[in-house]
Structure 1
């Protein structure tokens, strides 16, 4: 057991202790070669040397380095290195300065705004979708394993009990009831085979806690908890927080459906639902029939050459929004991944308070944010009553492949034309 802080672990300098948990001690370290701070997790020697569970503990400890080390995603904590130093086993990972876990925001007296929760769960769903497509199931998604950074980003960590679902994998991590019971799916509690949908069930439970400050299957003992997860429906979220929209309740119910066939199939499916829910929170638009929307969009230059069936696909995957005169649509410095097509009306493009141009019916804006998810470089304001088609990059990936290809071709052509026009104006 390490009682004092070591000076070094391998090539890494140790600067202090960050935390201590069941899987080890985490130190603040410094990588002298990359010249960056790192977090170093050191296995507990007493657990490694236990005659009954030492071998299993060692496998779980290095499983985190193996599984998470395969993943490179902005919302998953990066693993840089792993090794041994004398009797110490350690893992070197990304250091999140000033980060705190979501557990702090699962209390009734410290809840985050609804929009913020949707964004957090959206990012988690996309990160899990990425991991699942690499064949990795986390198996221990819970608030304490998700960090929120000072700049309000999120990082999923602790892949110590993750499982690799690959045909050619030689990993033999136990598939029984391992993890945190409060966040386990019914199939985990029954010790059945786990899939990506098991993680999405756990994420649904986290979402409920972030929105209400309560656990959906609260019980005073383990047997009652298991019974509730297997057999009972959780209380409605709006019973705890009346302002929550019904669409979030529907998304939660689907995420934690006891029948795996009724759940979201992949993280991207959950992310798409959350994206639509977020759009609905931005304010209801005037009622425009689907048929009216179709004919308004069909006549735009952007959609020339699109078969009717694909226009309908785009419409169903997008959000129709109406804005009044002088109402802000995009604010300079904001970060999002949406692309807008003006169906009616006009907008003013302003940068640093100065007007740059006015765009009208059929024009597009937001291309760079959609493509690169960069901060908005200008403010867009409605010049008059304006109708827009708002297209989210996550949702558009749900349409048919032919439709995606056609959309991407027109999108890129539009962006190239915009860049060419800008270059000519600057040259002049």
Structure 2
């Protein structure tokens, strides 16, 4: 941890620590050259793969030019530490704002942010970049109430240097309540994975309820129980039938059942109609999540031979041996082979055909 008053590069004076992301600590600092306030992200891992990923994040962010993305101005190594200097966005993230308020945000506000985020994601996806960690904790508002998407530590794809793409292949991670099943299982992500994460985020912001996570949902389907994901409109009367249905579609377990891109997601969300939500007759009471894991981003390193690394903050770092990327890693959980009956159940209930190809499934 950097001490208050420490100076980096004989230029940046550390004021205080203001947060921690999946791969680094965030500090408020003063740029004494320009007498301005900046944010400095410090890498938390010494592992070579994480160093490459951190360097890649700096290069990626420096190359991006969009109003909804943070601006990076410097990247350096000092005293064996690695740092990124970026624009400072003050205030709490949206998760913390909602926690303090104790209620959901107004639906119209959330939809305005959704429109801005869809535009930013379209910009990223056009360049082959998948964010892979969209969640309320990674969203902030500027003083002009414009949304900013933060933390590109898990981003996949690089618009500037193809050599750095290899770093993304050796490290993957996820935030469980906002990640698609294919991301959690490490079977490959694409723009539809960001569609899922954005929909999960919007659902949470509109309802003040974290959506049921993909692993819990698929296991309940396999066990012949109903999908616990309730329509968002059930929890907030401001949510129209069209928006509730759009979120439900975007949160489909099967990637092929989601919109193929953010343009299609935008068409679903902003259909031009606003019918009051009507709860289907006979719908059972909602299933509450037993665990609220919204604060955790799990990072999985293929280079550690399966050994978990300790973490002093709420991100759990886990190991996955080479060739094990198709298995789901959850701490202190048991795994068993996926049986033919499991596969039949999943397929008969419209769930994942891709489960057939996965040799292990995590019991939760």
Pick the TM interval, shorter chain. Answer: 0.5 to 0.7
Give me the whole-angstrom Cα distance separating, in 2, the residues matched to 1:90 and 1:177. Answer: 21
1:255 counterpart (240, 250, 260): 250
Match of 2:107 in 1: 114
**Is 1:31 aligned to residue 59 of structure 2?**
no
What is the Cα deviation at residue 146 of structure 1?
A: 1.1
What is the Cα deviation at residue 193 of structure 1?
A: 1.2
SS of 1:192's partner is coil
| More off after superposition, 124-133 vs 21-30 | 21-30
What is the Cα deviation at residue 145 of structure 1?
A: 0.9
What is the Cα deviation at residue 169 of structure 1?
A: 2.0
Match of 1:406 in 2: none
User: Which has the higher relative contact order, 1 or 2, with Cα contacts under 8 A spaced 6 or more apart?
Assistant: 2
Give me the whole-angstrom Cα distance separating, in 1, the residues matched to 2:227 and 2:137. Answer: 25
2:96 counterpart (97, 104, 107): 104
Match of 2:144 in 1: 151
Taking the TM superposition and a 5 Å limit, the aligned residue runs for 1:265-414 are 265-277=260-272, 280=274
1:191 counterpart (181, 186, 196): 186
Give me the whole-angstrom Cα distance separating, in 1, the residues matched to 2:171 and 2:220. Answer: 19
2:84 counterpart (79, 91, 99): 91
Contact 1:175–1:193, Cα closer than 8 Å, also in 2: no
Structure 1 length-normalised TM: 0.57
Contact 1:39–1:93, Cα closer than 8 Å, also in 2: yes
What is the Cα deviation at residue 261 of structure 1?
A: 2.3
Give me the whole-angstrom Cα distance separating, in 1, the residues matched to 2:172 and 2:79. Answer: 33
Which consecutive unaligned segments of at least 5 residues does structure 1 have?
A: 49-53, 282-428
Give me the whole-angstrom Cα distance separating, in 2, the residues matched to 1:175 and 1:43. Answer: 17
Match of 1:333 in 2: none
Contact 2:217–2:228, Cα closer than 8 Å, also in 1: no
**Is 1:40 aligned to residue 44 of structure 2?**
no
Distance 1:205 1:237, change over 3 A: same
Give me the whole-angstrom Cα distance separating, in 1, the residues matched to 2:136 and 2:92. Answer: 10
Distance 1:23 1:5, change over 3 A: farther
Distance 1:111 1:192, change over 3 A: same
What is the Cα deviation at residue 151 of structure 1?
A: 2.5
Match of 1:7 in 2: 6
Contact 1:176–1:192, Cα closer than 8 Å, also in 2: no
Contact 2:68–2:146, Cα closer than 8 Å, also in 1: yes
Distance 1:119 1:75, change over 3 A: same
What is the Cα deviation at residue 271 of structure 1?
A: 2.8
Deviations 1:177-229 (A, max 9, x none): 5121221112112321110110110000001101111122069xxx6366359
Distance 1:175 1:119, change over 3 A: farther
**Is 1:178 aligned to residue 183 of structure 2?**
no
SS of 2:200's partner is helix
> If each structure's strand is expressed as a fraction of its own residues, which one has the higher value?
1
| More off after superposition, 11-20 vs 73-82 | 11-20
Contact 2:232–2:244, Cα closer than 8 Å, also in 1: yes
Distance 1:4 1:104, change over 3 A: closer
Give me the whole-angstrom Cα distance separating, in 2, the residues matched to 1:20 and 1:141. Answer: 17
Give me the whole-angstrom Cα distance separating, in 2, the residues matched to 1:145 and 1:229. Answer: 30
What is the Cα deviation at residue 142 of structure 1?
A: 1.1
> If each structure's helix is expressed as a fraction of its own residues, which one has the higher value?
1
Match of 1:141 in 2: 134
SS of 1:91's partner is strand
Match of 1:239 in 2: 234
Give me the whole-angstrom Cα distance separating, in 2, the residues matched to 1:229 and 1:183. Answer: 19
Which consecutive unaligned segments of at least 5 residues does structure 2 have?
A: 276-364
Give me the whole-angstrom Cα distance separating, in 2, the residues matched to 1:78 and 1:166. Answer: 16
Structure 1 or 2, whichever has the larger Rg, is 1
Structure 2 length-normalised TM: 0.66
Distance 1:38 1:229, change over 3 A: farther
